[in-house]
Amino acid sequence: MDILDLALALIVSKLFGELMIRLKQMAVLGELFTGMLFALIMTYVPRINISYLGHTFSYKVHLTGEAFELFAHLGIILLLFIAGIETNINDLKSSGKRGLSTASLGVTLPFIFSTIFALKVMHFQNKQSFVIGAIFTATSVGVTVRALMDLKQLRSKAGTTIITAAVIDDIIGILVLTFVLGTQTISGLIIGFVIFIATIGILAMGPTQRYMKFVHEEMHSPYAIISMAIGYGLLISVLAREVGLAPITGAYFAGLLIGMTPEKKVIDGPMNYIARTIFIPMFFVKVGTLFDFRMLTKIDVKFFWLIPLAFSGKFLGCGTGAFLSKLNIRDAIRVGVGMMPEMEVALVIVTFAYSQHIFPDIVGSQLVSVTITYVVLSAILVPILLKLLFTPKVQTTNG
């Protein structure tokens, strides 16, 4: 039933997206709510039986099949790939210092807030507290990039700062993960990262331009340049994964390289059509399906305090870092809000900690539930807040 899952997810997400647009909200909220609706159905009506002309059709709602997982995974990779294509490299260079300042404070404050709370209020051991702090460090920029694209603000000062900070944040987050969980040696991580950056640097000097020019001028099969560009982005994603970085970081760098070629104009439009109509919506539907309504009644109330602590840590840390790097207060607030979402790294840390029995089973399951709650809440709230923050104020005059 994988194909039926995809069909229903696509149709319902577009209907909900249309509803959100008519309510003057962003379509991504419709996709998230679609996932939450399917999660609700999976919880309380796992199988639907329809009888017609003596024949009974039985459908088990799950949205966990291989096809759906593949589409969702490709969705976030293509989202960051397109973001890279649409990013002006000069804008990115100018925001480098702002990105470093934003990412550094944006990791430090939520880590400190969550760790101290776990130590002093929840009375966890040191390692357990550090793990809780690490969960809420790394930003997942997918939600914010989608919102910035829809608002046409990806190349604004706030937008380029968020993108730069998110890339640096990803690296810092992996370092924190390495220290806390010991999943990889620091020397190995640093060597891998240097190799990755060096490889990207070499590719940026000419081979990427020659590759895209050859494809555009010499290949005659229809849409070959789109296929070759996507394949290129996926290869760089795999390279990033092999050195310990997130695949979406590699996808973003691949997009940056292609964005510096003349062929960018040929690729950008069709890439958006392909990704935004099929793959990207499935990623946000998947995020919505993570939410389990039953878990809200099974969590110790103290755990819920981690959510506002993480939100405030990200907002204050990233916003302050952006402000100290000479962004105005409005743009600094936009950056603080845009850096609040978390997803992949947070879920990896909490599930790894749970599987390694760093916490007792009951505590571990509650921590997983709270992390998922944070992921879904941030995915819903951030697009709404960014829309408000980027909407121009209407000037009124007294007659």
- Better-predicted residue by pLDDT, 220 or 392: 220
Cα distance between residue 97 and residue 82, in whole Å: 23
8 Å CB contact between 154 and 145 = yes
Residues 67-390, CATH architecture? Up-down Bundle (1.20)
pTM for the complete prediction? 0.75
Least confident piece of the model among 117-121, 244-248, 372-376: 244-248
Confidence of residue 200 (pLDDT cuts 50, 70, 90): low
Name the phi and psi angles at 56, rounded to 5: -105, 125
Mean pLDDT to the nearest integer, 228-237: 92
Mean per-residue pLDDT over the chain, rounded: 83
Question: What percent of the chain clears pLDDT 70, i.e. is strictly above it?
Answer: 86
- pLDDT higher than threshold 80 for residue 133: yes
Alpha-carbon gap, residue 215 to 137, rounded angstroms: 41
Which residue, among 195, 269, 170, 288, has the nearest Cα to 225 in the 3D structure?
269
Taking CB atoms within 8 Å and a gap of at least 24, the contacts of 116-122 are: 117/305, 117/306, 117/309, 118/306, 121/302, 121/305, 122/302, 122/303
Give the pLDDT band (50/70/90) at residue 394.
very low
Q: For residue 88, report the phi and psi dihedrals to the nearest 5 degrees.
A: -80, 125
Show me where the domains of the chain are located: 67-390
What CA–CA distance (Å, rounded) separates 103 from 370? 23
Supply the pLDDT for residue 172. Answer: 72
Q: Is 52 helix (H, G, I), strand (E, B) or coil?
A: strand
Structure confidence by residue, pLDDT tens digits, 202-216: 656 678 888 888 988
Q: At 96, which amino acid appears?
A: G
Residue 53 backbone class (left: φ over 0; alpha: ψ -120 to 50; beta: rest) = left
For CA atoms 307, 341, 244, 173, the dihedral sign is negative
